[in-house]
């Protein structure tokens, strides 16, 4: 692994200049990527100066540089965290053997699938968020949106690098397809469900960056354990950027909760009368994005997942530190399954339940955030309302619960009962209309829309009233 080459057309620390074929291939893809960015990236702000951070190094301390730039001039680069040459595979059937620097032939198909699936989510999220700039609640928030967008673009680069370097013609074809699929398109949709759902307002944006980017954190962390070392190294660096996306989501929802609580109190329970957001609507948004994000972990019982683990391709969250047995050939995991119209416990072989192991890590993390938001409600003097996460069985489209209907508490119900309650349980069209009606762009530095509280502090030590976007 060499130093970061900043002068190159594509900044990188993978010695691109010594691999002419790969460099040419990526430079050939660059204009196609830019065309996609201009068509599908943030709408209406491409010529504005935005106060953005750019990854410039892999040093934990000073890895990013902040400055005003125009988004299309962002330096999308390729950065891998350097790994010791003696790194070994940390789990599965090859536990303890040297990590792979090249693709093991027998796992080429599975690795390609994992990498393409990961890659596909990155541009999808940019597409989903492309109209949010023009209804941003502040310049601070607008800047954060664009920061997330350029970094998701970089995450696409991270995956496309792997496709070009290790998968030959197949990789080049996949890289082009990544720019051809479109979020929500009936004919060529993005691969995973959540990435085809609309994200038309900032409540969804914050819930998406909180819940859906958080799936990203857990998936990337499991891939950072991979025995295929280049995948591990690139995912490890992506996690550095991901922390900010999660901050945007979690703190954004916290600010909405704070403001909603205050307005609820001030208006005697009718925050909508002053253009605020009621806490029921916040709850429906949580229910919606949390459940679509649960689907992103795949089926509870999955041979794909068992294979990925056994083959050493995809580990568990913090595999080394949180687990003792890294092979897990024996043993099982108890799941709640639906049998004969009832929810009953059943043990399944552990490796087959590995998606559920990761999903549970994720759910605990989501619970932590819920406790924080409920504390915020408390601080604002709202004590009769609590936000909560719905059951993992509620509103699922993947896995063993997808065939049945459940209420948010996780009890089996009929289809009719479910459908009757959808407007109460899930973000819906009327909610969308209301939210879009109250979200008008706020352009005065430091000022916030009425439906959201100010953040605790600005970005990179700048004050909140800093001009984060020069309009």
By CB under 6 A, name the binding residues for ligand BYC: 114, 117-118, 121-122, 125, 152, 192-193, 212-213, 215-216, 219, 295-299, 302, 304-305, 314, 355, 398
DSSP tag of 209: I
Taking CB under 5 A as the binding criterion, the range among 177-185, 240-248, 387-395, 444-452 that sits at the site for Fe ion is 240-248
Nearer to Fe ion (CB atom), residue 37 or residue 425: 37
Nearest approach in angstroms of CB 15 to ligand BYC is: 26
Task: Kindly provide the residue ranges of all beta strands, DSSP E only, lying in 56-189, ordered along the sequence.
Answer: 64-69
Nearest approach in angstroms of CB 208 to ligand BYC is: 7
Q: Which residue is nearest to ligand BYC (CB)?
A: 298
What crossing angle do the helices spanning 139-166 and 168-180 adopt, rounded to 10°?
150
Binding mask 128-167 for Fe ion (x = CB under 5 A): ------------------------x--x------------
293 binds, among ligand BYC, Fe ion, none (CB under 5 to 8 A by kind): none
Closest CA to 91 of 390, 432, 350: 350
Residues 80 and 59 sit within 8 Å (Cβ to Cβ): no
Candidates 53, 112, 244, 245; binder of Fe ion (CB under 5 A) is: 245
CA distance linking residue 32 with residue 40, whole number of Å: 12
Nearer to ligand BYC (CB atom), residue 155 or residue 201: 155
Taking CB under 5 A as the binding criterion, the range among 1-9, 75-83, 242-250, 346-354 that sits at the site for Fe ion is 242-250
Nearest approach in angstroms of CB 218 to Fe ion is: 12
Tokens read off for 218: 């857990």
Phi, psi of 176 (to 5 degrees): -70, -40
Partner residues linked to 447 by β-bridges: none
Nearer to ligand BYC (CB atom), residue 12 or residue 197: 197
377 binds, among ligand BYC, Fe ion, none (CB under 5 to 8 A by kind): none
Taking CB under 5 A as the binding criterion, the range among 111-119, 214-222, 278-286, 430-438 that sits at the site for Fe ion is 214-222
CA distance linking residue 205 with residue 219, whole number of Å: 20
Partner residues linked to 62 by β-bridges: none
Nearer to Fe ion (CB atom), residue 152 or residue 254: 152
Nearest approach in angstroms of CB 68 to ligand BYC is: 25
- Residues contacting Fe ion: total by CB under 5 A: 7
Element (H, E) at 377: helix 354-379
Partner residues linked to 51 by β-bridges: 68
Taking CB under 5 A as the binding criterion, the range among 8-16, 212-220, 228-236, 388-396 that sits at the site for Fe ion is 212-220
Tokens read off for 368: 């932590």
Nearest approach in angstroms of CB 124 to ligand BYC is: 7
Under the criterion CB under 5 A, does residue 127 sit at the interface with Fe ion? no
According to DSSP, the β-strands at 405-406 and 342-349 are unpaired
Using DSSP's 3-state secondary structure scheme, residue 267 falls into coil
Nearer to Fe ion (CB atom), residue 22 or residue 239: 239
Cα angle value 442/443/447 (rounded, 5°): 65
Place of tokens 């596909």: 120
C-alpha distances (whole Å) from 271 to each of 161, 275, 438, 452 are 48, 7, 12, 12
Residues that bind Fe ion (CB under 5 A): 122, 152, 155, 213, 216, 242, 245
């Amino acid at each position: 692994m060499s130093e970061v080459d900043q002068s190159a057309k594509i900044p990188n620390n993978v010695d691109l200049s010594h691999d002419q074929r790969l460099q040419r291939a990526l430079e050939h893809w660059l204009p196609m990527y830019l065309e996609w960015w201009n068509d599908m990236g943030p709408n209406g702000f491409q010529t504005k100066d935005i106060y953005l951070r750019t990854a410039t190094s892999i040093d934990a301390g000073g890895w990013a540089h902040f400055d005003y730039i125009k988004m299309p001039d962002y330096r999308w680069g390729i950065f891998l965290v350097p790994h010791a040459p003696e790194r070994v595979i940390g789990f599965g059937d090859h536990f303890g053997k040297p990590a792979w620097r090249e693709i093991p032939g027998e796992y080429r198909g599975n690795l390609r699938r994992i990498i393409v699936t990961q890659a596909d989510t990155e541009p999808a999220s940019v597409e989903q968020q492309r109209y949010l700039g023009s209804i941003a609640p502040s310049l601070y928030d607008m800047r954060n949106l664009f920061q997330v967008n350029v970094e998701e673009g970089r995450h696409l680069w991270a995956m496309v690098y792997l496709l070009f370097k290790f998968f030959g013609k197949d990789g080049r074809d996949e890289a082009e397809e990544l720019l051809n699929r479109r979020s929500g398109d009936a004919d060529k949709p993005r691969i995973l469900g959540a990435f085809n759902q609309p994200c038309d307002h900032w409540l969804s944006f914050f819930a998406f960056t909180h819940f859906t980017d958080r799936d990203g954190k857990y998936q990337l962390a499991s891939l950072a354990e991979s025995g295929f070392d280049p995948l591990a190294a690139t995912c490890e660096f992506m996690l550095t950027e991901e922390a900010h996306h999660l901050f945007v989501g979690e703190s954004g929802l916290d600010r909405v909760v704070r403001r909603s609580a205050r307005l609820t109190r001030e208006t005697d329970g009718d925050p909508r009368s002053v253009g605020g957001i009621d806490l029921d609507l916040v709850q429906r948004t949580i229910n919606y994005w949390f459940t679509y994000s649960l689907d992103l972990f795949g089926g509870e019982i999955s041979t794909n997942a068992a294979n990925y683990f056994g083959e050493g391709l995809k580990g568990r969250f913090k595999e080394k530190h949180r687990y003792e047995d890294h092979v897990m050939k024996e043993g099982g995991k108890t799941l709640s399954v639906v049998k004969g119209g009832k929810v009953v416990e059943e043990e399944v072989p552990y490796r087959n339940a590995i998606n559920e192991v990761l999903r549970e890590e994720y759910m605990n993390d989501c619970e932590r955030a819920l406790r924080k938001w409920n504390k915020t409600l408390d601080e604002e003097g709202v004590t009769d309302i609590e936000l909560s996460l719905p059951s993992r069985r509620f509103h699922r489209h993947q896995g063993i619960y997808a065939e049945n209907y459940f209420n948010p508490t996780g009890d089996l119900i009929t289809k009719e009962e479910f459908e009757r309650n959808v407007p109460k349980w899930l973000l819906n069209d009327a909610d969308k209309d209301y939210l879009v009606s109250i979200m008008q762009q706020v352009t005065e530095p430091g000022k916030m829309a009425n439906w959201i509280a100010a953040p605790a502090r600005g970005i990179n030590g700048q004050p909140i009233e800093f001009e984060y976007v020069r309009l």
